[in-house]
Structure 1
């Protein structure tokens, strides 16, 4: 049995501490009875009571969850087909088309989508936000699926075809189960990116379709409680 490298173990622990200690501190200080939160004053639940009574914030959070869920599902379906196409055809123009939104700045995507929605006479709202999020999430799902396809054994598909399976049957019964981890990972990434997005949502959101990042930003401009 190979022994673990103590340096690697210590480095891994240090990275996880660096990532999670700030989150733990924020969680602890959410119970702090201080508006400035600069030092610990005492334990309180009043900030959570204020949050529970804030209908605008709760509605924005619900909108974010709905948008992120729809974007993850739609990007998962479209990104799966895009990832399979990237692996099989290996065309440079196809790679640039699918992965372009991944490399483009958010503000450029937001402005481009806003102009597109205006030209297509699509009203800004929940639908426009979902379509916008799907457009930049597809590339991340496609990357995950493409990397999964690269590690697959193509002889499995050939064996399925030799046994009489149709192209759809071989994809549904062989390819899709093998791609499931990559698809799920891509959908989780899409969900995270969607629920956290601000710039693209800022350009494509309409009246009454505020998300959690937009709502927090609008509160920070005036005054926001802990």
Structure 2
């Protein structure tokens, strides 16, 4: 499946209403958020602190009278500098470009399957600044296979999972985790759409370097278009 066919397929699927978190929350209660290096508001608090991030997100939503803050696809961020897992002094190879959509909302919020499919894999990615508990679903539509990744979940979300089990679109597959299990972030869902999983299992890069960006632009797809945000 080439990139154009992949995008056409997803746009066709997106003609229906799709949610990846609690469907009782209206899309009108979502608001965009900029977490790029250009946002000077981030200079006002300690971006290495998950507690300070939680306060920032909470106040951001309260000020706008919204419930969910979203954004981040192909956004260049400074937050990853706090972790040796991402940090590199070489500007070409430093991983700081975000490849998924983040949906910032309280821990315990239900996470829903974007499309019908099956559990491909799951894993607790415990590196500092990583996904924490993660689930990857495999989907087949019109003969095409692709994948969706759900990161920063609760640890309990991985209990009793079985690879190959079928899931239906909109089914609750997990719940969001707290900072002590989700890689040390304010609670949120990292949602990513992937064309070729490249033999990964329970994990896939959610952040890339400048030198790898062109590949990931083709191998991932903006979730905002699917969710109509």
Asked whether the two chains share a fold, i.e. TM above 0.5, the reply is: no
What is the TM-score normalised by the length of structure 2? 0.22
TM-score, scaled to structure 1: 0.22
Identify the structure with the greater helix proportion.
1
* More strand, by proportion: 2
